[in-house]
Amino acid sequence: MKNIMEMPIIRLNGSSYINDMELKERYKVYNDSCWISLLSLVGNPDGAIVTVDEPVSPLLTMDLEKRLKTALEEDPADFLVVDMCYTAGHRLCVWKDQVFTKNPKFEESRFYAEHQDEIEEIDVMRDRNFDWKPYMDRYLELISKYFDKDHIILIKSRCPKWFATHTHVRKVQKKSSKAYNRRIKELEDYFVEKTDPYVIDIYSHYFLDFNHKKGYTMSSYEKPFYHHARRLVSYIIRYQPEKRVFTEDEFYIRFGRFIKYYDNLFAKNNTALFMDDSKFIDHLILSLGRPVLVEFEYDIVKIQQEGYASIQEILDKYDFRFSEGLCTCLKVVQAVEEGDLFRKGVQYEAIYEYKMKIVKAYTELVKKELEKRGWLEGPMYINEVHAGTFDAILRALDAGKGKEAKKILFAAAEEDFEHDRIKECYHKELEVDKQLAPIRALNAFYEPVQVDLWGSCITREILNEDTGRFKIGKYAYRNSFLFAFDEPIPYDDTKFENLSLFENSNWRVGYIKSAFHKDLPGQLEATGSKWLLLDFYDLICDVVKYRGGYLTADSEVRGLGFYKEIKDDCELTTVEDVLSDEEIKARFDTFIEFLKRRYGKQIIFIKADVKLKFLDYQRRKKAIRGYKQATLKKKKAFLQKWQDYFEKQMDCHVIDYAKDYDADDLCVSGAFMVHYEKEFYEKGYQALLDIIYRG
């Protein structure tokens, strides 16, 4: 009988996926048969027998000599923990009917050097004709002699669609992930069918973790995954439960990760990766703000564990002795969601103090209240940034405190030019209605300047710094001016009704449809916007020639379902490959003529600069990924040439800060040749204010 204090012994068969769980802290672990495909661990009894004479690594010896059987006998274990990552993702090498795993140790071996010309490789991941079952059967036959189903634990895996890097969540761009996921599912399903093991199936709750030295691998997950899986392994070993499959997520882990990635998730509209808005606790979390979640993380986890089903139930039963701020925020959420803007005891100002997401619904309440009263004539310029100021003036006027309302009005001015403008608006409204002048002046003060955008994320990100001074009339995206004045390109317009071809995005449908119809100039004519913000990133995007016309089509566009349908009829190229300098100049002439007629001198040209390196999260400079340096240098020179040409032809405002900043992996969308440090966008926004507001 095993001593109660004696640690159970575990043998690992698989990859770093299970080795990284750090089970050695709790158990005696044999990992000398890790990093070897399960298909080659036992090998072919009819194949060649290899004997290792020279000193080599235990891992290599295990594979070359097929020593798993010996290891199981000489070093018996209580439990076998298995994953299929290495088995699905690594090639096999066949030599004289014997199979080996093509891992780094094998490729560096003397054996491989001597027999490389005789070796045939099998691409386990992609080769659909490869019959792997006989190899797996030999492995299963062997392990079943040493472990019954209650002592085998399978840790399932897939390559997720998302990966995490510092505090960002981004899409995985691995072409091989589909083949990998298909193969690993087949291997896991077969293993489960034959052995009926305990199954830990929690991979879908986690993302890949970006390794800043190696990039990301398809079996390298976030650290919380390993903590979660390790706890489940411990639970299974200790209790041998009747339950065989474990799939549930752990709320406190999910919640902690949501807080970590919070800003990026909201910036990229990816909150659904963590939170289901139809569930009470998730909806509540989405209504609060990051400061609330951080300060009261423990309380929110406890509230979830208690299973409360409404805010009122929480307010009635939860002990808020050490979390009064959370109580305040919950009362705000409850009142706003119930449409009550004047509930006694509710501190609505907490919305701004705690940066609560309920601000959107709150803003609508303020708008409806002002509409009901009819205090404002014409359009209302209330947004989420300023709704609290409108509300404060409204309450002051209700209380008969006109001087306080005036004080709140003038406090809205952050700069001298704004103070003068508020003063002008106030005196103008005094002539119409002295009592309502403060709130009417505030509305007039916040009337935004409408601008059109023609360009890329460079310009759009600058406007993301805006607090309500600007309104976008038209955002012309992925629609190069070089081709915007061409004849329409034939296309079946009914395809635009199938949103699934455009990642269910009406916005994508809009800009792609416009690129086919060549109707962007007409759309800009109709916006009524006073200013145009412009950048030329589209000049260095890839171009697709389709049915005699040209479309701007970077990797984002080419990843859409609609493009895959027309791909066979497309020719991928670049601007400089399809147009000569003279042809480009002719198209510039058409473009410039349109700009001068439509916007006059109210054009702001934001110059871009192609970067060859970027700052990683540790502020180290690294080469831009996905492009050869020669390609980037070519794009840089081409863009600079035509930006300078345009600047000489136009009498317009120019923002030329990009050359002073690095590309930055901390940018919302990650490291890219034109994704710059945050200060670039902040400085660019201030330049817009200088030009349009400050004169």
pLDDT digits (tens, 9 = 90+) for 70-110: 999 999 999 999 999 999 999 999 999 899 999 888 998 88
Alpha-carbon gap, residue 647 to 608, rounded angstroms: 13
Residue 689 belongs to some domain of the structure: yes
Instruction: Please report the pLDDT score of residue 1 as a whole number.
Output: 44
Domain-located, residue 199: yes
Averaged pLDDT for residues 149-170: 94
Looking at residue 55, its pLDDT comes to 64
Q: How far apart are CA 270 and CA 366, in angstroms?
A: 28
Cα–Cα–Cα angle for 627, 633, 638, nearest 5°?
A: 115
CATH of the domain at 210: 3.40.50
Nearest to 511 by CA among 559, 462, 460, 477: 477
- Which of 303, 261, 268 minimizes the C-alpha distance to 282? 303
Rounded to an integer, what distance in angstroms lies between the CA atom of residue 52 and that of residue 54?
6
Q: How far apart are alpha carbons 579 and 564 in whole angstroms? A: 25
Rounded to 5 degrees, φ, ψ at 615 are -90, 125
Q: Evaluate the CA torsion angle 26, 225, 147, 87 in order and state its sign.
A: negative
Amino acid at 530: K
- Does 455 share its domain with 488? yes
Beta strands in 71-220 (DSSP E): 79-82, 92-95, 98-101, 120-122, 152-155, 162-165, 168-171, 198-200, 208-209
Segments in 600-662 forming alpha helices (H): 629-649
Per-residue pLDDT, averaged over 639-644, amounts to: 96
Q: Looking at the predicted structure, is the pLDDT value of residue 414 above 80?
A: no
- Indicate whether 501 and 576 sit together in one domain: yes
Write the CA distances from 74 to 13, 60, 65, 88, 200, integer angstroms: 16, 18, 15, 28, 28
Count CB atoms within 10 A of the CB of residue 321. Answer: 7
Helix pair angle (416-430, 437-445), 10° resolution: 130
> What strands, in cross-sheet order, belong to the sheet with 98-101?
98-101, 92-95, 120-122
Residues 219 and 270 in one domain: no
**Cβ atoms of residues 469 and 448 within 8 Å:** yes
Q: How far apart are CA 247 and CA 319, in angstroms?
A: 32
In this structure, what is the dihedral angle of CA atoms 594, 595, 599, 604, given to the nearest 10 degrees? Answer: 170
54 and 137 within one domain = yes
Instruction: List the structure tokens of 177.
Output: 């992930």
Contact 119, 94 (CB under 8 A): yes
Q: Angle of helix 437-445 relative to helix 387-398, nearest 10 degrees?
A: 170
Cβ atoms 48, 29 nearer than 8 A: no
CA-based diameter of the chain, in Å?
Answer: 101
* Mean pLDDT across 647-663: 94
Distance CA 156, CA 247 (A): 10
* pLDDT per position as a tens digit, 473-515: 999 998 999 999 999 999 988 988 999 998 888 989 999 999 9
Question: Could you list the residue range(s) of the whole structural domain that residue 460 is in?
Answer: 450-609+626-661+676-693
pLDDT of residue 474: 95
Cα–Cα distance for residue pair 393/336, rounded to 1 Å: 18
Is the predicted pLDDT of residue 45 greater than 90, yes or no?
no
Q: What is the pLDDT of residue 283?
A: 98
Paired residues of 471 in beta bridges: 450
Q: What average pLDDT score do residues 662-683 get?
A: 88
CA separation for the pair 480, 643 (Å, rounded) = 14
* Pair 236, 324 in one domain: no
* Domain identity same for 439 and 455: no
- The region of weakest confidence among 26-40, 164-178, 300-314 is 164-178
Q: Please report how many Cα atoms fall inside a 13 Å half-sphere around the Cα of residue 574, on the Cβ side.
A: 11
Provide the H-helix boundaries in 215-347: 223-239, 251-267, 280-287, 290-295, 297-306, 311-317, 324-337
Tell me what the mean pLDDT of segment 411-438 comes to: 90
Do 510 and 558 belong to one domain? yes
pLDDT, one tens digit per residue, over 193-230 is 999 999 999 999 999 988 655 566 777 899 999 999 99
Q: Domain check: are 455 and 487 in the same one?
A: yes
Residue at which a domain ends, from 200, 217, 243:
243
Residue 267 CA to residue 274 CA, distance in Å, equals 14
- Where is average pLDDT lowest: 159-163, 299-303, 645-649, 664-668? 664-668
- When pLDDT is cut at 50, 70 and 90, the band that residue 9 belongs to is very high
Q: Are residues 585 and 456 in the same domain?
A: yes
Residue range 127-135: average pLDDT? 95
Are 536 and 478 in contact by the 8 Å Cβ rule? The answer is no
Average pLDDT over residues 615-628: 87
Mean pLDDT (the chain, rounded): 93
495 is a domain residue: yes
Q: What's residue 609's pLDDT?
A: 96
Strand 449-455 to 470-477 pairing: parallel
Residue 179: is its pLDDT beyond 50?
Answer: yes
Strand partners, 454: 476, 534
Q: Could you tell me if 437 and 340 lie in one domain?
A: no
Helices 629-649 and 581-599 cross at an angle (nearest 10°) of 50
Q: Which of 150-159, 406-415, 580-589, 593-602 has the lowest mean pLDDT?
A: 406-415
Beta strand residue intervals within 102-201, DSSP E: 120-122, 152-155, 162-165, 168-171, 198-200
Q: Say what the pLDDT of residue 670 is.
A: 78
CA 449/CA 451 separation, integer angstroms = 6
Whether 584 maps to a domain, the answer reads yes
* Domain tally, the chain: 4
Where do we find the tokens 């065989």? Answer: 244
Look at residues 227, 140, 143, 127 and name the one whose alpha carbon lies nearest to residue 182: 127
Judge whether 281 lies within some domain.
yes
Q: At what angle do helices 402-411 and 416-430 cross, to 10 degrees?
A: 150
Residues 476 and 430 in one domain: no
Report, as an integer, the average pLDDT of 142-163.
96
- Rounded to whole angstroms, what are the CA distances from 631 to 207, 541, 635, 658? 31, 12, 6, 19
Does residue 97 sit within a domain? no
Provide, rounded to the nearest whole percent, the portion of the chain with pLDDT above 70.
Answer: 98
Give the model's pLDDT for residue 214: 59
Q: What is the pTM of this model?
A: 0.88
In a domain, 188, yes or no: yes
Distance CA 647, CA 282 (A): 51
CA distance 223 to 338: 40
The number of residues in the chain equals 695
Q: Are residues 139 and 231 in the same domain?
A: yes
Candidates 413, 479, 403, 409; CA nearest to 441 is 409
Establish if 348 belongs to a structural domain.
Answer: yes
Quote the pLDDT of residue 478.
86
Structure confidence at residue 483 (pLDDT) = 95
Strand partners, 312: none
Pick from 387, 327, 334: nearest CA to 360: 387
Task: Give the C-alpha separation, 455 to 474, whole Å.
Answer: 11
Percent helix / strand / coil, the chain, rounded to 5:
50, 15, 40
What does the pLDDT read at residue 58?
Answer: 86
